[in-house]
Structure 1
C-alpha cells in the first residue's frame, strides 16, 4: 500500500482509463452500426466517378461489408479486448510515473 496521494493517482488513472475505454467503445458502435459505408455509398460514388474510379468504391465497400458481416462481432471483440488490455493493465504512460528521490 502506498501513500494516500499514490492511491488517489491510481484511482484517477482508473477512471481516466475507463472513460477512454467507454469513448472508444461508443465510437466503434457508432462506426459499425450507424455510419456503415453502404448508407453513404450512393451519395459519395459520383465524386469517385469524377476521378475515374467508377466501381472502385462499390467494390471496396462490398468487400468491407462482407468482412464485417462474416467476422464483425469477432473484430469488435478483439478491439474491446485490446482497449481493455491497454487501459486497465497499467501499461500506459500515466501509471509509470517515477518520483525523484528527495535529497
Structure 2
C-alpha cells in the first residue's frame, strides 16, 4: 500500500512537471513571437528558459526526495485544526 501511495504521488509530481514544461513552452513560443514582431534578439529568451527549467527541476527533485524518505516530516500528520466544531474557519479562535 505504501509503495502504491508513493507511486501515485510520483505520478502526480510527473504530471505537475509536464504541466510546468508545457507552460514554459507556451511562454517561450509567445516570447519568440513577440521578439520576432519587435525585431529583438532571442538570446535572452534562451537564458530565461534555462532558468525556468532549472527551477522546475529543483522543485521536482525536492518533492521526489521527500517521497523517498530523505526528508521526513512528521509534523504534517500532527497538525491540529485551530477551531472547534462549533466554530468555522472564518471565525478566529479567542483564548480567554
- TM-score, normalised to structure 1, is 0.46
Q: Which structure's residues are more often helix, by fraction? A: 1
The higher-RCO structure (CA 8 Å, 6+ apart) is 1
